[in-house]
C-alpha cells in the first residue's frame, strides 16, 4: 500500500491502493502508465461507438423500415450530442474534476448502449445515440486532458498517442464484430456488446485518482502532492512537478472568451483550429467510417463482402495511425499533411471514376476497395491525427482550453453536418459526383495547408505562442526567423 494520508484517503487512496501498488509503499512509474491506459479506454469507447453504426445501420433500416433521411438522423444524432458534450466538457471537468467527468461519461456510455440495443422504436434508438454522443463529447475532451496531466513528461507523447490508437482500435474492433454478426442481421447484439467495454471503462474510472493539476487549481496542494507521489517514481520528482505546477498557476488562469475578444492574434489561432477541423471532416472520412457498407453495396458488393471490406478499412486506419505516430516528429506536420491530402484527392477522384466508368465486374470492385483503402491510409497518416495535434499546438497557454473547445466543437458539428446529409447528397448527386465533391474538398485542403499551416515539428510551444502573439503569419509560426527578415534576431521579444 502507498502511505495513506488522511487528507487524500476519501477518494484517491481507494484508487491508489488498488492500482498495482506494492506492499513496500514504494511507487513505480508504472502507476502513471496504468492510470493513463485506464483513461485511454475512453478512446476505445469513442472508437467502438463511432464505428459500430456502420455495420448495424442497414439492418436497423430494414427492421424499422427507416427512410434514408431517418437513417441519417440515427447516425448523426450522436455527433450532434457529441458537439454539445464537447462544449460542456470543459466546464464539467473543471468544476467536478477530470475523474468525475470520465466516470460520468462511462455511465452515459453504459446507459446509451443499453437503450440503443433494446430500443423498440427509432425514437428510443435516437435517444440512446444521444446518450452515447454526450459520453463521447465529454470523454473525447477530458481523457486526453487527464492523460496529459497524470503522465510524466517523458511518456506524455506516447500516452496521448495511445489514446488515439485506442480510438482507431475501437473503430476496427467494432467493424470486426459487425462483420461477424452481419450474417444473422444481429444489429441489437452489435449495439448491445458495447455494454461490455463500457462496464470495464466504468470500473476502471472508479480506480482513477484525481488529476494532481486539477487538485492544485482548486488549492488542494496536500492531496495533489499525495497523488503525484503515487504517480511518480520518486518523491523528489513528484515534489518538483508540484512546485512547477504551482509556479505556472501563479502566472494566471486561462482567460478564454475575454482573451478571444481582445486579442486579434488569438482569434487567428482559434480560426485556424476551426478551419482545420472543418477541412478534416470535409475530407469525407466519416462517410466511410459510418456508411462504408452502404458505399460498398452501392458498388455491388454482397452483404458479407461489404462487411469484411469495411473491417479492412478499420484495419488500415489502425495500422496507418501507428505509422503517423512514428513519423510525425521525423517528417514534420506540413509534408505529412500535404502528402495525406494529395493521396485523399487522388483516391477520391479514382473512386468516382470507377463508379462512373468502371463497370460492375470483380476487377472494378477490387479497384474500388483499393481506392477507398488508399483514401483511409491517406487520412490516417496525416489529416486524422495531425489536425488534433496542430489544434493543441497552435493555441497560446492563456487560451488553450478555450481554443481546443472551439476546434473540438467544430469537429463534431461538421461531423454531424456531413453525416446528416451524406445519404441525401448521394441521392441527389449520385455516387461518382459525391466522390468528386470530396476530391475537390481535399484539393482545397492542400491549398489551405500550403498557405496557412505552420511546421511545428521540434518547436517549443512557448516559441509558437510568442510568434503568434507577435503577429507572425500563421504559416510561419514554427519558423526560427521570419522569411525575408534581416538582422541577427528577427524573433519578436517575449
Q: Does 283 bind ligand BGC (CB under 6 A)?
A: no
Among 415, 419, 434, 442, binds ligand BGC (CB under 6 A): 415
Residue nearest to ligand BGC (CB): 384
Residue 50 interacting with ligand BGC (CB under 6 A): yes
∠ CA(249), CA(252), CA(256), 5° rounding? 115
In this chain, which stretch among 94-102, 128-136, 266-274, 282-290 interacts with ligand BGC, using CB under 6 A? 282-290
Among residues 358, 392, 381, 365, the alpha carbon closest in space to that of 464 is found at 392
Among 148, 286, 407, 410, binds ligand BGC (CB under 6 A): 286
> Smallest distance from the beta carbon of 309 to ligand BGC, in angstroms?
17
419 binds ligand BGC (CB under 6 A): no
> Hunting for cell 478551419 — which residue is that?
275
Nearest CB to ligand BGC, comparing residues 54 and 224:
54
* Single residue of 148, 408, 411, 442 touching ligand BGC by CB under 6 A: 411
Distance CA 169, CA 173 (A): 6
Q: Which one of residues 289, 355, 372, 446 is an interface residue with ligand BGC (CB under 6 A)? A: 289
Q: Where are the beta strands (DSSP E) in 116-196?
A: none
Nearest CB to ligand BGC, comparing residues 175 and 266? 175
The number of beta carbons lying within 10 Å of the beta carbon of residue 150 is 29
Residues in contact with ligand BGC, shown as a per-residue x/- string from 313 to 342 under the rule CB under 6 A:
----x-------------------------
Helix, strand and coil in the chain, % to nearest 5: 80, 0, 20
CA gap 146, 102 in Å, rounded: 9
- Residue 414 in contact with ligand BGC, rule: CB under 6 A: no
Count other C-beta atoms under 10 Å from residue 24's C-beta: 8
* 285 contributes a contact to ligand BGC by CB under 6 A: yes
Length of the chain: 494
Specify the stretch interacting with ligand BGC by CB under 6 A; choose among 61-69, 92-100, 126-134, 283-291: 283-291
- Could you tell me which of 368, 378, 388, 369 has the C-alpha nearest to residue 317? 378
Of 458, 438, 478, 422, whose CA–CA distance to 287 is shortest? Answer: 422
- Cβ-based neighbour number of residue 462 at 10 Å: 11
Nearer to ligand BGC, 19 or 376 (CB): 376
Q: Name the site residues for ligand BGC (rule: CB under 6 A).
A: 50, 168, 171, 280, 285-286, 289, 317, 384, 411, 415
Amino acid at each position: 500500500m502507498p502511505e495513506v494520508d488522511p487528507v487524500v484517503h476519501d477518494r484517491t487512496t481507494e484508487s491508489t491502493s488498488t492500482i498495482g501498488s506494492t506492499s513496500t509503499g514504494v511507487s513505480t512509474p508504472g502507476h502513471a502508465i496504468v492510470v493513463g491506459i485506464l483513461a485511454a479506454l475512453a478512446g476505445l469507447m469513442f472508437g467502438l461507438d463511432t464505428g459500430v453504426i456502420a455495420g448495424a445501420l442497414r439492418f436497423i433500416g430494414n427492421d424499422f423500415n427507416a427512410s434514408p433521411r431517418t437513417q441519417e438522423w440515427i447516425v448523426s444524432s450522436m455527433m450532434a450530442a457529441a458537439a454539445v458534450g464537447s462544449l460542456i466538457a470543459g466546464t464539467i471537468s473543471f468544476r467536478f474534476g477530470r475523474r468525475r467527468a470520465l466516470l460520468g461519461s462511462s455511465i452515459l456510455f453504459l446507459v446509451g448502449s443499453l437503450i440503443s440495443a433494446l430500443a423498440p422504436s427509432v425514437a428510443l434508438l435516437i435517444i440512446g445515440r444521444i446518450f452515447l454522443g454526450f459520453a463521447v463529447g465529454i470523454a473525447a475532451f477530458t481523457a486526453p486532458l487527464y492523460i496529459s496531466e497524470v503522465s510524466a513528461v517523458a511518456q506524455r507523447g506516447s500516452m496521448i498517442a495511445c489514446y488515439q490508437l485506442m480510438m482507431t482500435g475501437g473503430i476496427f474492433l467494432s467493424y470486426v464484430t459487425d462483420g461477424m454478426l452481419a450474417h444473422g442481421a444481429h444489429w441489437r447484439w452489435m449495439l448491445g456488446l458495447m455494454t461490455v467495454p463500457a462496464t470495464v471503462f466504468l470500473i476502471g474510472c472508479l480506480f482513477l485518482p484525481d488529476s494532481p493539476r486539477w487538485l492544485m487549481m482548486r488549492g488542494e496542494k496536500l492531496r495533489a502532492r499525495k497523488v503525484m507521489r503515487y504517480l511518480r517514481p520518486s518523491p523528489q520528482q513528484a515534489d518538483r512537478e508540484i512546485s512547477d505546477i504551482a509556479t505556472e498557476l501563479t502566472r494566471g488562469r486561462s482567460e478564454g472568451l475575454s482573451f478571444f475578444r481582445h486579442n486579434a492574434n488569438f482569434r487567428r489561432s482559434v480560426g485556424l483550429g476551426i478551419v482545420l477541423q472543418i477541412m478534416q471532416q470535409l475530407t469525407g472520412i466519416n462517410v466511410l467510417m459510418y456508411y462504408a457498407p452502404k458505399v460498398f453495396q452501392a458498388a455491388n458488393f454482397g452483404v458479407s463482402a461489404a462487411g469484411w471490406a469495411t473491417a479492412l478499412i478499420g484495419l488500415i486506419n489502425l495500422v496507418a495511425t501507428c505509422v503517423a505516430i512514428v513519423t510525425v516528429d521525423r517528417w514534420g506536420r506540413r509534408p505529412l499533411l500535404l502528402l495525406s491530402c494529395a493521396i485523399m484527392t487522388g483516391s477520391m477522384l479514382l473512386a468516382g471514376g470507377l463508379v462512373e466508368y468502371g463497370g460492375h465486374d470483380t476487377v472494378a470492385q477490387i479497384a474500388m476497395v483499393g481506392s477507398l483503402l488508399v483514401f483511409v491510409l491517406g487520412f490516417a497518416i496525416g489529416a486524422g491525427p495531425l489536425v488534433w495535434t496542430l489544434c493543441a499546438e497552435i493555441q497560446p497557454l492563456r487560451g488553450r482550453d478555450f481554443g481546443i473547445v472551439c476546434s473540438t466543437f467544430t469537429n463534431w458539428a461538421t461531423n454531424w453536418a456531413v453525416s446528416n446529409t451524406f445519404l441525401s447528397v448521394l441521392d441527389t448527386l449520385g455516387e461518382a459526383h459525391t466522390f468528386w465533391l470530396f476530391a475537390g474538398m481535399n484539393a482545397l485542403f492542400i491549398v489551405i495547408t500550403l498557405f496557412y499551416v505552420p511546421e511545428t515539428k521540434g518547436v517549443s510551444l512557448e516559441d509558437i505562442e510568442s510568434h503568434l502573439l507577435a503577429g507572425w503569419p500563421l504559416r510561419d509560426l514554427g519558423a526560427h526567423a521570419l522569411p525575408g527578415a534581416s538582422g541577427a534576431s528577427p524573433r519578436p521579444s517575449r
